[in-house]
Amino acid sequence: MHRFFLVLSKGMAYVGGAVLSALVGIVVLSILGRELNGLLHADLFQNNMKGLADWLIGFRIPGIWGDIRIGPFNGDYEIVEAGMAFTIFSFLPLAHIAGAHATVDIFTQRISDRQNRILTVLIDVAFAAVLVIIALQLFQGTLSKFQRGQTTFLLQFPVWWAYALSLVGAVIAAMVSVYLALMRIAEAFTGRHLIPTGAGADH
């Protein structure tokens, strides 16, 4: 069971990493396009190479969401906003199952192993409860956006698409967190280590 959730978490992290890389590429291209467009409108090009500058400014390639041109990426803010929400939820399962969340051990290093186990149970149960609530709220939000037919301002794609993508990540994160919480409870009752304990990012 642990291997299944670990593989699922890693898979989500890979997908999140690919989406994040694409978002970085969009932002870089948008910034370069914006700067190049400004440069072509500057006096240097307009006075010395006006024909070339005007041709480059007017150059268009038909795209899915409008023509591709030299300038900022059309709807870059909308795409980044939607994509970042998904990537955050994509990385949560692996961070949680690997115990990679930041920890402050000034207090916990002074208490007994049993007390640490109880504290871990409380933290994991609280974490699971929060993620389940977030997933439920995202589900309600997705339904609401779908029923209203709300679209983004520039690209005009349905807002519920972004909510649905985030919901997938949130549901998987909630599943992983509930599994970990149940395993920690079992560990507290049996006194045995049933699943690996991550080292965390200590502070």
pLDDT greater than 70 at residue 191: yes
pLDDT greater than 80 at residue 56: no
Domain parsing of the chain, residue ranges: 2-195
Query: Helices 113-148 and 159-190, interaxial angle, to 10°?
Result: 160
The predicted model gives 41-57 an average pLDDT of 76
pLDDT: is 126 or 2 the higher one? Answer: 126
The pLDDT value given to residue 201: 44
pLDDT: is 120 or 62 the higher one? Answer: 120
Q: What is the band of 203 on the pLDDT scale with cuts at 50, 70, 90?
A: very low
The pLDDT value given to residue 58: 74
pLDDT in tens, 158-168: 999 999 999 99
pTM (predicted TM-score): 0.79
Q: What is the band of 44 on the pLDDT scale with cuts at 50, 70, 90?
A: confident
pLDDT in tens, 145-181: 999 988 988 888 899 999 999 999 999 999 999 999 9
